[in-house]
Amino acid sequence: MIRVTNLKKSYGSLQVLKGINVHIHEKEVVVVIGPSGSGKSTFLRCLNLLEDFDEGDIVVDGFHLKDPKTDLNKVREEVGMVFQRFNLFPHMTVLDNITLAPMKVRKWSKEKATEKAMQLLVKVGLQDKAHVYPDSLSGGQAQRVAIARALAMEPKVMLFDEPTSALDPEMVGEVLAVMKQLAKEGMTMVVVTHEMGFAREVGDRVLFMDGGVVVEEGTPQQIFDAPQHERTKSFLSKVL
Amino acid sequence: MDFRFNIILEYAPFFFKGVLWTVGLSLVGIFFGTILGLAIGLGKMVRNRLVRLPFDWYVHFFRGTPLFVQILLIHFGVMPMFTAQPNPLVSGAISLSLNAAAYIAEIFRAGIQSIDRGQMEAARSLGMTHVQAMRYIILPQAIKRMIPPLGNEFIVLIKDSSLAAIIAAPELMYWGRAMQGQYYRVWEPYLTVALIYLVLTLSLSKLLHRLERRYDA
């Protein structure tokens, strides 16, 4: 589904990604963990080219992102993204937030887009919030709407960039529950998170990143119960 | 102090004509200033420094020199290059438009750049083109924020149109000066003129206030 080869990126003289190689399969849930500044968010944002990269190659659903012939908008239609700070559109109702892209990008009819949106709102447990504006939602509700908004495009892959980091602790669970459900339904997911419980329970594979490289990867059992590298051990000892 | 209402009455038809020209000049300035300002504001947001340079300097020049000087330069310097008999109203309208455009460009740029980067990212991540993201996500939010500073600029523009009197454009201030010259009176012409400007600017600010409230609802 996604193949990343020798991905490198620098901000000025600071190299934040130093050659990443990852292959993400269909229906796989890959969780990326690591300390702040390890490059995990930058890595994720490269996958739909919200962040440009300097070297290497990323192939998403058969499209080489750096190929000038690739229509990036077409690729992004298939790659949903959920942000740390939700980024809901504040001037639109929840329903309009969800239906806008399907109508303008996928050219769906209003009826079709609304029907899909209502299904998704039921799925994330917010059907009664369809006609309110985002500023009246709690953080957890806003993030569930953001997930519904991304899913409305019927993407093949979902990217999650620290989706629970901006939430009050009591709201983390409701967002993770939606993500768990999504994983169970077979969605291909790449999740950058600090929620180790989620990584262990839902992840098919865990990548530990530090200093711009993937230091160690494996099943949650391998990473959490028997980490091989010193850096992995030291990180896990601090967060577990 | 005596106050001669009769000479105000005598000049009433001229003041009336003057007000029409003042409103006309202001409307032309607002219209072309806004269109030109949007174009320059967009030009200032181009990433390429060389492309951006002329737009930057346009703003530097028109914001950094007095409108008074600009009017004289345009009327006595630039316009004679195109026509033997420059019309002061045309020169005034052009000066006001060019000057307002510089300020409006900054208002547009600031409005657009004040929208959180995450909004553009979210829109693009959903597959929208840059133009779609601007149209549906960024501009609707930015325009709401631009209304108060734009209103401010329009009020300044109405008042600044009085500077066109110096090149004998027959707007409101011109007739005030004419009346002062004829009767050697100060209070009657200038208080009348001041009061009329006040009515014009208050009406505009009332109108803008309403617009602002409607956008808020």
CB distance from A119 to chain B under 8 Å?
no
Cβ within 8 Å, pair A74-B122: no
- Tell me what the pLDDT averaged over chain A comes to: 96
pLDDT single digits (tens) A56-105: 999 999 999 999 999 999 999 999 999 999 999 999 999 999 999 999 99
What tokens appear for A163 in the block?
A: 């989706």
What pLDDT does residue A117 have?
Answer: 97
Supply angle C-alpha A62, A82, B137, rounded to 5: 100
Domain interval for residue B21: 5-216
pLDDT single digits (tens) A30-65: 999 999 999 999 999 999 999 999 999 999 999 999
Helix-then-strand count for chain A, H and E? 9, 10
Residue identified by tokens 């839902």 is A202
How many independent structural domains does chain B possess? Answer: 1
CB distance from A50 to chain B under 8 Å?
yes
pLDDT single digits (tens) B148-161: 999 999 999 999 99
Pick the residue from chain B with its C-alpha nearest to A74: B127
The single-letter code of the amino acid at B128 is M
Cβ neighbours around B14 below 10 Å, total: 16
pLDDT single digits (tens) A209-224: 999 999 999 999 999 9
Query: What order of strands is seen across the sheet that includes strand A157-161?
Result: A79-82, A157-161, A188-192, A29-33, A205-210, A213-218
CB distance from A107 to chain B under 8 Å?
no
Cβ within 8 Å, pair A85-B118: yes
Which of A85, A90, A153 comes nearest B126 by C-beta?
A153
Pick the residue from chain B with its C-alpha nearest to A159: B125
- Interface of B to A at Cβ within 8 Å reads 116, 118-119, 121-129, 132, 136-137, 140-141, 144
CB distance from A48 to chain B under 8 Å?
yes
Q: Which domains does chain A have, with CATH numbers?
A: 2-87+159-237 (3.40.50.300)
Closest of A154, A153, A158, A150 to residue A1, by C-alpha: A158
Three-state DSSP at B129 gives coil
CB distance from A233 to chain B under 8 Å?
no
Predicted structure pTM score: 0.85
Cα separation, B112 vs A228, whole angstroms = 49
B30: domain CATH number?
Answer: 1.10.3720.10
Which of B121, B127, B144 comes nearest A50 by C-beta?
B121
Q: How confident is the model at residue B90 (pLDDT cuts 50, 70, 90)?
A: very high
Q: How confident is the model at residue B217 (pLDDT cuts 50, 70, 90)?
A: low
Mean pLDDT of all residues in A178-201: 96
Mean pLDDT of all residues in A195-200: 95
